[in-house]
């Protein structure tokens, strides 16, 4: 059975990490398969939104310390095609964690359990986040004398208050889902995170796909820019949307009191 699964539900791609016996830790095989899936999400126009979740009691426990870390450090020799691919393309792991790869579609995280280390870094690369009440989140690499190289020293101080981000980065402590919600890191805490995430994803998928992608691109590109500069960048994304067929279909459907039929054109 694949350790990462992709299921299409209409215009929503459901991506499931499926190594419950290893708390969905990121092995070389997980990294390679997840990297391939993110490329598929980006390149398939029929996919408008992705939902990412895990099986079992963990969302993702981070890198597999028995497989991934010894391999990339040279302490373990490659044993299969997945190991070979990681050594051949060192960027695979980063792309799997959405560190140096953008799927160009909204990604909703359904955090079914603990998101730790690389699992937390994967969450940081998503756009909307729903966690189970018992979930705990944090980057614990420092406890094992490792660096959270999946983007945490860049993203976490931007996504949390600076002092709280530094506390998590330097102590390796975990926070509860409720605290993450209060800090604004999560959108919701829900007993059924996947059901809630799919509901959000379906709402997004029903909207104009070109508008959705342009809005997401603009929000990410404008983050941290001075307002005057950001407004110029925003115009570069907004202007083309008004020239699309979908931009004509949306107002027409509103006036005709019917559901719009967006084609992504």
pTM of the entire predicted model:
0.94
Over the stretch 170-210, which tens digit does the pLDDT of each residue have?
Answer: 999 999 999 999 999 999 999 999 999 999 999 999 999 99
Are 230 and 185 members of one domain? no
- Write down the pLDDT at residue 249: 93
Does residue 98 belong to any structural domain of this protein?
A: yes
Task: Map tokens 């990121």 to a residue.
Answer: 26
Note down the domain range covering 231: 209-255
Q: How many domains does the chain have?
A: 2
Mean pLDDT of 108-114: 98
Average pLDDT over residues 242-247: 95
Residues 219 and 127 both lie in one domain: no
Q: pLDDT higher for 214 or 90?
A: 214
**Residues in the chain, how many?**
265
Is 88 contained in some domain? yes
Whether residues 216 and 97 share a domain: the answer is no
Asked whether residue 26 is domain-assigned, the answer is: yes
Residues labelled as active-site residues: 121, 141
The answer to whether residue 2 scores a pLDDT higher than 80 is yes
Q: Is residue 263 part of a domain?
A: no
Q: Is residue 133 part of a domain?
A: yes
3-state SS, 83-142, equals HHHHHHCCCHHHHHCCCCCCCCCCEEEEECCEEECHHHHHHHCCCEEEECCCCEEECCHH
Does 9 lie in the same domain as 122?
Answer: yes
Integer CA distances (angstroms), 23 to 20, 79, 115, 184, 233, in order: 5, 22, 10, 26, 41
Query: CATH number for the domain including 243?
Result: 1.10.12
For position 137, what pLDDT does the model report?
A: 98
Q: Does the pLDDT of residue 258 top 80, yes or no?
A: yes
Same domain, 240 and 158: no
Give backbone dihedrals phi and psi of 42, rounded to 5 degrees, phi first: -65, -40
Domain identity same for 237 and 130: no
Residue 186 sits in the same domain as residue 117: yes
pLDDT tens digits along 205-228: 999 999 999 999 999 999 989 999
| Domain identity same for 117 and 60 | yes
Residue 91, in any domain of the structure? yes
């Amino acid at each position: 059975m694949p350790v990462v699964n992709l299921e299409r539900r209409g215009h929503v791609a459901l991506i499931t990490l499926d190594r419950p016996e290893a708390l969905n830790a990121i092995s070389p095989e997980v990294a390679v398969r997840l990297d391939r899936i993110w490329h598929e999400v980006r390149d398939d126009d029929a996919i408008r939104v992705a939902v990412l979740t895990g099986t079992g009691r963990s969302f993702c426990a981070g890198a597999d310390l028995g497989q991934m870390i010894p391999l990339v450090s040279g302490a373990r020799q490659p044993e299969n095609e997945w190991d070979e691919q990681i050594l051949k393309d060192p960027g695979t792991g980063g792309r799997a964690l959405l560190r140096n790869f953008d799927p160009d579609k909204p990604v909703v995280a359904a955090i079914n359990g603990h998101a730790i280390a690389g699992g937390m870094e994967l969450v940081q690369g998503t756009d909307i986040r729903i966690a189970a009440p018992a979930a705990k989140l944090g980057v614990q690499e420092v406890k094992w004398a490792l660096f959270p190289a999946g983007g945490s020293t860049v993203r976490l101080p931007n996504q949390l208050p600076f002092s709280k981000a530094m506390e998590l980065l330097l102590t390796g402590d975990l926070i509860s889902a409720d605290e993450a919600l209060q800090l604004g890191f999560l959108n919701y805490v829900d007993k059924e995170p996947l059901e809630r995430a799919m509901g959000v994803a379906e709402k997004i998928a029903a909207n104009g796909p070109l508008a959705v992608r342009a809005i997401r691109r603009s929000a990410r590109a404008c983050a941290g820019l001075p307002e005057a500069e950001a407004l110029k960048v925003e115009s570069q994304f907004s202007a083309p949307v008004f020239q699309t067929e979908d931009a004509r279909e949306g107002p027409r459907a509103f006036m005709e009191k019917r559901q719009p039929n967006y084609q992504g054109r």
